Homo-oligomer: A and B are copies of this chain.
Amino acid sequence: MPSITTKYNKIYQDLKSKIEDKTYEAQELLPSEAILTSYYDCSRNTVRRAIANLALEGYVQSLHGKGVRVIYQPHAQSAYAFGNVESFHEASIRNGKIAKTEVPLFVELVVDQHIAKRTSFPVGIEIYYIQRIRCMEQKALIIDHNYFRKDVVPGLTKEIAKGSIYNFIENKLHVHIVTTKRVMTVEHVNQLDRKYLELGDYNCVAVVSNYTYNADGIMFEYTQSRHRPDYFAFYDQARRNSPEE
């Protein structure tokens, strides 16, 4: 969890904003690492770290012997940010939209074979199972099916579920959420999708399955988010490795 007050992060933020406001324009090369090093009064490693993070988000690409090319292009906005774990609540704030969450179901369960297969939780442990309808500007966009391990996230209530569960986990329980694995698929709609989402003639939804690990390496959350296809986009940034041999 990189603090926002580190030196490399400040440089990262500064370069990022200068790319976004076109101080450095697309296609151009950034000033060389040596120049940036003296400009920011830091070591070359620190500049390189900031640049590496920009490259991970698709703002620049480094070219051996040439320089660092800006390839940023202002995109259509997505509901979710690049490669970061971001809650619906946080995303809505970032987009400046009004969000609302309804909780039609909040129950405690014991994991059986069927749930185990879907969630990867061990059979027999106690969990919370929550259904949440995510609305933005009066439109129901997502149905979340949340499964939380009760031993890791005790004290969850329906009231908390209406707000940000992540807030509760981080601030009240002091669990630092570190890593999430995600799988994106497309599935047939089910009755619940039909009931809550305005799907028009779509018979599919975009499904994002989240597996979240805490600091002990325990997977304590499985969430399946079922999205209205016409309001769903998932952005990604990839780097090509030189092919082997």
Q: Which residues of A contact B (CB under 8 A)?
A: 1-4, 26-27, 55, 58, 61, 63-64, 66, 69-71, 73, 78, 83-85, 90, 120, 170, 176-188, 201-206, 213, 215-218, 227, 229, 232-244
Contacts and interface: CB of A to CB of B under 8 A. Distances in A.
Nearest to A187: B229
B204 A241 contact: no
A202 B203 contact: yes
Contact of A239 (B63, B85, B241): B85
Given A84-B239, A204-B202, A242-B4, A217 B179 contact: no
Contact of A70 (B177, B202, B217, B238): B217
Contact of A237 (B181, B188, B202): B181
| Chain copies in the assembled complex | 2
Contacts of A66: 215
B4 A185 contact: no
A213 B59 CA distance: 12
Contact of A177 (B90, B240, B244): B240
26 contacts: A1-B240, A1-B242, A55-B179, A61-B178, A61-B217, A69-B215, A78-B183, A83-B237, A84-B239, A85-B239, A90-B243, A179-B238, A179-B239, A180-B238, A180-B240, A181-B238, A182-B236, A183-B236, A184-B206, A184-B236, A186-B186, A186-B232, A187-B229, A202-B203, A234-B236, A236-B236
